Structure 1
Amino acid sequence: MDAVTRTTPRLHYRIEGPRDGQPRLTFVLAHALGCDLTMWDALARHLAAQGRVVRYDQRGHGGSEAPPGPYTMAALANDAARMIDELELGPVVWIGLSMGGMVGQELALRHPDKVKALVLANTTSGYPSEAQAGWAQRIAGIERAGLEAIVDGALQRWFHEGFHAERPEVVAHWRERVLSCDAAGYIACCHAIAGVDTTARLPRIAAPTLVIAGVLDQGTPPEMARTIAQGIPGARLVVLREASHLSVLEQPDAFCEALEDWLQAVPA
């Protein structure tokens, strides 16, 4: 079922899985910058066999509204909390990749009652100053020449060279997806990402947490994942081989295996 939230900014979401009774778990899936809820197609189908799955387009993306920016990670987390309340989802298993993982950290810190467990994939809790400067350059490039200015560089980080050669149709699909984004919404989210800063607060996250990294990830390398896993009490770290930034697309089976193994320890 596809719908949009009643409260604003209106967020486009999709609900899958059992409609009758109380599901054992409710999953909320949050995508990366420049993507949309279809990033999770395969994983959502798998998870829908065991619980309720809600995936959504973050503000500035897909079918969701793009209010004027810049955005903050707090605002994106508040969007998620608002959607969870409106849909009466209760505490959820949050699965976020890249920007979605940043939102998940902030959600668990600001709204801990909304989060039963966290999966933080290919993400970071903060950027060094040189990386923040890189985000400023990316924003300037889009303002000057549109999303065409940054899309190919993004795709090089998202997928490793072998994947580009073996699955050119997938790469082409996501190139078109980026180019179809609202440029102002994309820029507004870039501001939120550049300002992510949760490292010092990570020990306050009490939810069971799985951190997933990709060996080949240039955007959020495994060192950033280790920082998160070391900061959150009891967090588990899994580093996937042959995975770059969009690990759930490059290594869907390995991603799913790591998730399933960890879910066995998550209480209903």
Structure 2
Amino acid sequence: MSQPFIFRTIELGGQSLRTAVRPGDGSMTPLLIFNGIGANLELVMPFVRALDPNLEIIAFDVPGVGGSDTPSTPYRFPGLAKLAARMLDYLDYGQVNVIGVSWGGALAQQFAHDYPERCKKLILAATAAGAIMVPGKPKVLWRMASPRRYIQPSYGVHIAPDIYGGAFRRDPKLALAHASKVRSGGKLGYYWQLFAGLGWTSFHWLHRIKQPTLVLAGDDDPIIPLINMKMLAWRIPNSELHVIDDGHLFLVTRAESVAPIILRFLAEEKRRAIIHPHAAPSRTS
């Protein structure tokens, strides 16, 4: 039986972060989730429920999203990766496995690169290498540039088939269920997330990511065309690519099918994760 999430709001250097931890039984390395742009942590709950209930899960709202305060100045991915490492310190975690979804996949790449001793395995879902990516259709990108779908749920339901593709094209109830879980942090937080990725790319250092990496892609993804995921798998040395018959949000719509792929990947190495005793930064609250 899965444990309920424990929600906490913590303070890190003046930044308030809303966090959620689902306790596990300690037999597996905890899994840290980096969510998509504008997405509060509740939006990944269907995926979490499909995972092994003994797997400990760590999720949080990035600054300006959901229940986390919006900073007065913009931030970049290296700064967010540092904030995530400090959050792990505060919550008393050493090494974790990491999954990044869409915008959160870019943050996951940055975290794996900047804090390799903290990231045992890496999972990249529906994401890209940043500025050099092959873009989706202009109409889709224009809609993604605005936080309107999070602020006005009826608009989000209306455009969901076009921007998310896959099962959202066939089942209107999915868009309604997705919109019901949205907790908007406001326009400024969304724009800060857009700014974090402005001009950013991992392409020139992807070959330095040494963690075993699972790349997951949807074959009907209007936001991140499949070629981008193939590029990640080509550039990251120790990686494998799985293509899912669905759209951008396959982690939610195909959770029961995708979760076993992820769990098999995480179970491939049985050895307990050990963090280097001098690698982690000092604990900060």
* TM-score normalised according to structure 1 size: 0.85
- Deviation string, structure 1 residues 165-204 (Cα, Å, up to 9, x no partner): 42x2331243455573311000110111333300110111
Residue of structure 1 in register with 2:283 after alignment: none
1:84 to 83, 88, 107: 88
Name the CA distance, whole Å, in 1 between partners of 2:11 and 2:160: 33
Identity percentage of aligned residues? 26
Do 2:38 and 2:150's aligned partners in 1 also have CA atoms closer than 8 Å? no
Aligned amino acid, residue 59 of structure 1:
P
Change (3 A) 1:140 1:240: closer
Name the CA distance, whole Å, in 2 between partners of 1:78 and 1:101: 15
Residue of structure 2 in register with 1:222 after alignment: 226
Change (3 A) 1:108 1:67: same
- Deviation string, structure 1 residues 5-28 (Cα, Å, up to 9, x no partner): 231422111111236xx4421111
Do 1:159 and 1:250's aligned partners in 2 also have CA atoms closer than 8 Å? no
Report the Cα offset of residue 138 of structure 1.
5.9
Residue of structure 1 in register with 2:18 after alignment: 12
Aligned amino acid, residue 258 of structure 2:
F
- Deviation string, structure 1 residues 196-228 (Cα, Å, up to 9, x no partner): 300110111111110100000121121111111
Residue of structure 1 in register with 2:61 after alignment: 57
Name the CA distance, whole Å, in 2 between partners of 1:139 and 1:44: 25
1:202 to 166, 182, 206: 206
Change (3 A) 1:10 1:260: same
Alignment of 1:60-209 (within 5 A): 60-128=64-132, 131=135, 148=152, 151=156, 152-153=158-159, 156-160=162-166, 162-166=167-171, 168-175=172-179, 180-209=184-213
Report the Cα offset of residue 150 of structure 1.
7.9
- Deviation string, structure 1 residues 83-132 (Cα, Å, up to 9, x no partner): 11111211101011111111110001111111011111000112348959
Aligned amino acid, residue 205 of structure 2:
R
Residue of structure 1 in register with 2:261 after alignment: 258
Quick check: 9-18 or 101-110, which moved more?
Answer: 9-18
Quick check: 66-75 or 93-102, which moved more?
Answer: 66-75
Quick check: 246-255 or 112-121, which moved more?
Answer: 246-255
After superposition, the CA RMSD in angstroms is: 3.0
Aligned amino acid, residue 34 of structure 2:
A
Q: In the alignment, is residue 37 of structure 1 matched against residue 56 of structure 2? A: no
Do 1:17 and 1:48's aligned partners in 2 also have CA atoms closer than 8 Å? no
Name the CA distance, whole Å, in 2 between partners of 1:82 and 1:49: 26
Do 1:155 and 1:175's aligned partners in 2 also have CA atoms closer than 8 Å? no
**Larger RCO (CA under 8 A, 6+ residues apart):** 2
Change (3 A) 1:45 1:147: closer
Residue of structure 2 in register with 1:247 after alignment: 250
Quick check: 79-88 or 257-266, which moved more?
Answer: 257-266
Aligned amino acid, residue 82 of structure 1:
R
Change (3 A) 1:257 1:56: same
Name the CA distance, whole Å, in 2 between partners of 1:5 and 1:226: 37
Residue of structure 2 in register with 1:3 after alignment: 8
